[in-house]
């Protein structure tokens, strides 16, 4: 049921600006340009890794994709349906097929609910099974994510960070969603636990066939997980490429800078690029190419003309005048 070659999720020219007060005493409102014209597809059953520095808009894009917040502009298609303006019962039904896993497993789990009820909430809300059936399904699901049978009766505070993230994963997959947005799902965990959780996510994807929009600022994690990588900077996409191609030979100057900062990953040949300066404020992003204030290749034209995201090699998109 994959609608030919159509993507599971298509984001088309999405904008999201947040109004913020200029200062505590001021009445003047400014706009944070969190997302500025982003288009991207998530194919059925695949993982799109979304990477970029803090504040570039990754979480906002994930939340827009799930319709947890409404975009200011653009369209969202999911399973062949335009869901940009859905509301009420229709939106609720669509949400069954879209789930999220959060960075902080602790604050995302209701401390007053037993694990069995956390995992079974979706089934109960959607009337999928009686009490006993839900109990059995929850036990099977908890076993699948690697928790012991007695976990069902406990509360979230009785678990370690990694175990809590297993609970979060069980909750997310309970309704067999087509799409899971995983927002920094291992960033809060010890390095020793990260690989276990990432491998669990991969195994479950193979078994259930869902797609992931996988958000991380960590390129090593992105490489481990992704089929396609989208590199974001100040609310815009800089490069979208198959993961293998991107890590073998990054095209965009920003991607090249990011990769060169993680020597273990390397580009070929390995480059030594220092990403200079700080990220400009998203309240007043630079004109022209957003990256020009930090780019080692910037020319005059970059200060004036915003490069479009276009195909610069087969299957690879970049937004740069000189790729």
Ligand X SMILES: Nc1ncnc2c1ncn2[C@@H]1O[C@H](COP(=O)(O)OP(=O)(O)OP(=O)(O)O)[C@@H](O)[C@H]1O
Residues of this chain that bind ligand X (CB under 6 A) = 18, 20, 32, 34, 52, 54-60, 217, 282
32 in Cβ contact with 18 (< 8 Å): yes
Nearer to ligand X, 68 or 195 (CB): 68
286 binds ligand SF4 (CB under 6 A): no
CA separation, residue 282 to residues 90, 183, 255 (Å): 34, 20, 19
Answer yes or no whether residue 297 interacts with ligand SF4 by CB under 6 A: yes
Q: In DSSP terms, which residues pair with 82 in a beta bridge?
A: 77
User: 143: which 2 tokens?
Assistant: 């076993």
Residue 217 binds what, of Mg ion, ligand X, ligand SF4, none (CB under 5 to 8 Å, by partner type)? ligand X
Mode of pairing for the β-strands spanning 179-183 and 211-215: parallel
Distance CA 156, CA 108 (A): 10
- Check residue 52 for interaction with ligand SF4 (CB under 6 A): no
232 lies in the site for ligand SF4, by CB under 6 A:
no
In the DSSP assignment, the letter for residue 305 is -
The one segment of 35-43, 72-80, 199-207, 290-298 that binds ligand SF4 by CB under 6 A: 290-298
Least Å from the CB of residue 134 to ligand SF4: 52
253 near ligand SF4, judged by CB under 6 A: yes
CB 282 → ligand SF4: shortest distance, Å? 17
Q: Say if residues 172 and 100 touch (Cβ distance below 8 Å).
A: yes
In the complex, the residues that contact Mg ion under the rule CB under 5 A are: 59
Could you tell me how many residues of this chain bind ligand SF4 (CB under 6 A)? 12
| Residue 309 binding result from ligand X, ligand SF4, Mg ion, none, given CB thresholds of 5 to 8 Å by partner type | none
To Mg ion, the closest distance from the beta carbon of 136 in angstroms equals 36
- Taking CB under 6 A as the criterion, the residue among 172, 302, 309, 317 binding ligand SF4 is 302
CA atoms 234, 235, 238, 244: torsion sign: positive
Using DSSP bridges, classify how beta strands 228-233 and 47-51 pair: parallel, antiparallel or unpaired: parallel
Q: Does 236 bind ligand SF4 (CB under 6 A)?
A: no
Is residue 46 within the footprint of ligand SF4 (CB under 6 A)? no
Stretch that binds ligand SF4, among 4-12, 211-219, 241-249, 284-292 (CB under 6 A): 284-292
Question: What region does 285 belong to: left with phi over 0, alpha with psi -120 to 50, or beta?
Answer: beta
Bond preceding residue 130 cis, omega within 30 of 0 = no
The correct pick among 307, 309, 316, 317 for binding ligand SF4 (CB under 6 A) is 307
291 binds ligand SF4 (CB under 6 A): yes
Q: Which residue has the tokens 């159509």?
A: 6
- How many CA within 13 A on the CB side of residue 84? 15
Work out whether 222 is an interface residue with ligand SF4 (CB under 6 A).
no
DSSP 118-153: HHHHHHHHTT-S-HHHHHHHHHHHHHHTT--GGGGG
Nearest approach in angstroms of CB 52 to ligand X is 6
The 10 Å Cβ neighbour count of residue 270 is: 10
Q: Which is nearer to ligand X, 52 or 267 (CB)?
A: 52
Least Cβ distance, residue 35 to ligand X (angstroms): 8
Minimum CB distance to ligand X, residue 129 (Å): 36
Binding residue for ligand SF4 (CB under 6 A) from 101, 213, 279, 289?
289
Q: Helix 161-173 and helix 131-144: axis angle, to 10°?
A: 130
Phi, psi angle pair for 24, to nearest 5°: -55, -40
- Residue ranges binding ligand SF4 (CB under 6 A): 253, 289, 291-292, 295, 297-298, 302, 307, 320-322
């Amino acid at each position: 049921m994959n609608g030919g070659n159509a993507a599971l999720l298509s984001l088309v020219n999405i904008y999201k600006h947040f109004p913020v007060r200029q200062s505590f005493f001021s009445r003047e409102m400014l706009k944070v340009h969190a997302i500025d014209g982003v288009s991207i597809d998530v194919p059925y059953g695949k993982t799109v890794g979304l990477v970029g520095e803090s504040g570039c808009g990754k979480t906002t894009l994930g939340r827009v994709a799930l319709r947890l917040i409404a975009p200011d502009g653009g369209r969202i298609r999911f399973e062949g349906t335009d869901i940009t303006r859905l509301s009420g019962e229709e939106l609720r039904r669509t949400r069954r097929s879209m789930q999220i896993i959060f960075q902080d497993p602790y604050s995302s789990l209701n401390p007053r609910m037993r694990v069995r009820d956390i995992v079974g909430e979706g089934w109960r809300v959607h009337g999928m099974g009686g009490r006993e059936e839900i109990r059995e399904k929850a036990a099977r699901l908890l076993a699948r994510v690697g928790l012991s049978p007695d976990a069902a009766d406990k509360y979230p505070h009785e678990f370690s960070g990694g175990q809590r993230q297993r609970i979060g994963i069980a909750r997310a997959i309970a309704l067999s969603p087509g799409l899971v947005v995983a927002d920094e799902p291992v960033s809060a965990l010890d390095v020793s636990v990260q690989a276990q959780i990432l491998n669990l996510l991969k195994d479950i994807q193979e078994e259930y066939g869902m797609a992931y929009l996988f958000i991380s600022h960590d390129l090593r994690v992105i490489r481990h997980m992704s089929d396609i990588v989208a590199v974001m900077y100040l609310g815009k996409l800089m490069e979208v490429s198959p993961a293998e191609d991107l890590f073998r030979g990054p095209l965009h100057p920003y991607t090249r800078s990011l990769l060169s900062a993680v020597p273990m990953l390397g580009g070929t040949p390995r480059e030594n690029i220092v990403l200079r300066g700080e990220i400009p404020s998203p309240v007043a992003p630079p004109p022209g190419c957003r990256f020009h204030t930090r780019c080692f290749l910037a020319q005059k034209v970059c200060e004036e003309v915003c490069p479009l995201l276009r195909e610069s090699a087969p299957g690879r998109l970049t937004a740069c005048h000189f790729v």
